[in-house]
Chains A and B, each alone.
Chain A
């Protein structure tokens, strides 16, 4: 069959297809395109025929373009986002964290290990803090948690509107750290390891120093509440980063790129969970931890409960498969 005959035979069909494509691309009334998959396969057949018969480049290119656009519409990853999010929070995230327990354990060891280690070191050798953190920042830190000042956190005499300021600040700052910790895992995991150790070191040093100079009460009662979510989120983001790095170090029987892609798919979910934790942490930090009207004892009690809640959630949520799926 000559090309011009072929074209005139199928012209009407291609035009109908183009109209349907236009509709789908602009999200209009998709009810009338129920025969779209069939039309798409016809078009694929026409393209194959055109190629096999050596028709001209223009015809093949324009058919190819139509097929490409049709492919984009037909093979879309459509998902019910709402149901997905709920099942992620209720079951999939803790399940994933347990499945990847090796990385979570390694990241936790790095982070909490360096946190506790440097905390104890600084507590025992008070001079050490000045080797780790510039003196200026240490002074600033002391000002923030001075029990005499009667306020907590960064600002004096906080009004309700200032809670907003701090909420925004915490979301940005902490999530930034978590993202960094995750993303740098692509450098063979070295980056994640570094950020875990480094952040652990800074937090530990500050904690040790403040406890040593007698500001412990204000400091610990402030951080215990949101710390549960914030610190575990950083450890989880670090675990996701380590997973990326490990895929590059030990890809197994896959190519590096393939192993990385598989690992990335899981670790991005871990990071999503960590982001959720950070959001909760920022809320607690801005609206609860900074309250000065609550006695430290209550804060310790609530803080302990939150730590337990995080542990229980990560260890036991989603063990049995039921309702959400």
Chain B
């Protein structure tokens, strides 16, 4: 009789892709969708065009030798530009860097030579029959937005992490919650307090009012009550 080894995790509501590390930690990766990737690709295409244009003008002065070098360079840039940037710059080509994207293996480790080569060689199939048609189709229907090359190479294009700034908790008298909170409720209350600065006052009141009844308080006082509970959960700040 087979027993389930671990409880099934429920998938998050958003597009986050959970990777479990050997330490038993779930790392959330945020896969990037079609549009942002298309923009990144367009930027890379423009840069490549620019490099080739400048090089060809320079090489034109070198005559025949220049022509030979030119076709070698055309080969190098059209097939190796992405691979070199991805492997040597931690998964970022200039276009991806610009859009805040990065390529990683499915398990979250930095991309290596073989995977990068594979996903960029197979770009040819994604381009078929015209203008990334197959790639776009595959990207749109895949849960983590992979194009065909990504599926074969086992890679993922994700948003790079941005530095976080510490949110200011609104001032309130710390207090104990009248009812015991579960972990997720506790996090929700803390989240409410942390994100208050990003919300409009009307929305803050609306959200807090939802909890007025279960907490046995009047709706107008709900906001300060919740902030107080959040303060109480956080503990005294030095």
Contacts and interface: CB of A to CB of B under 8 A. Distances in A.
Contact of B21 (A71, A163, A184, A187): A71
A2 B24 CA distance: 24
Interface residues of B, number: 62
B64 A8 contact: no
Interface string B54-89: 000000000111011111101100010000000000
Contacts, number: 169
Interface string B21-47: 111110111000000000000000000
Interface string A16-44: 00000000010000000000000011001
Contacts of B75: 168, 171-172, 175-176
Given A3-B235, A58-B167, A260 B28 contact: no
B94 interface: no
Contacts of A68: 27, 29, 108, 161
Contact of A57 (B68, B72, B90, B190): B190
B238 interface: yes
B68 A167 contact: yes
Contact of B64 (A3, A5, A164, A265): A164
Nearest to B22: A75
Interface of A: 2-5, 8, 25, 40-41, 44-45, 47-48, 52-58, 61-62, 64-65, 67-69, 71-72, 75-77, 79, 81, 159, 161-169, 171-172, 175-176, 179-180, 182-184, 186-187, 191, 244, 257, 260-261, 264-265, 268-269, 271-272
Can you list the 6 inter-chain pairs with the closest CB atoms, starting with the nearest? A2-B235, A164-B68, A168-B71, A56-B190, A183-B124, A54-B183
10 contacts: A3-B234, A4-B236, A25-B90, A44-B23, A54-B181, A56-B234, A79-B112, A165-B64, A168-B75, A169-B71
Interface of B: 21-25, 27-29, 63-65, 67-72, 74-75, 79, 90, 104, 107-110, 112-114, 117-118, 121-125, 128, 148, 151-154, 161, 164, 166-167, 181, 183-184, 186-187, 190-191, 193-194, 230, 233-238
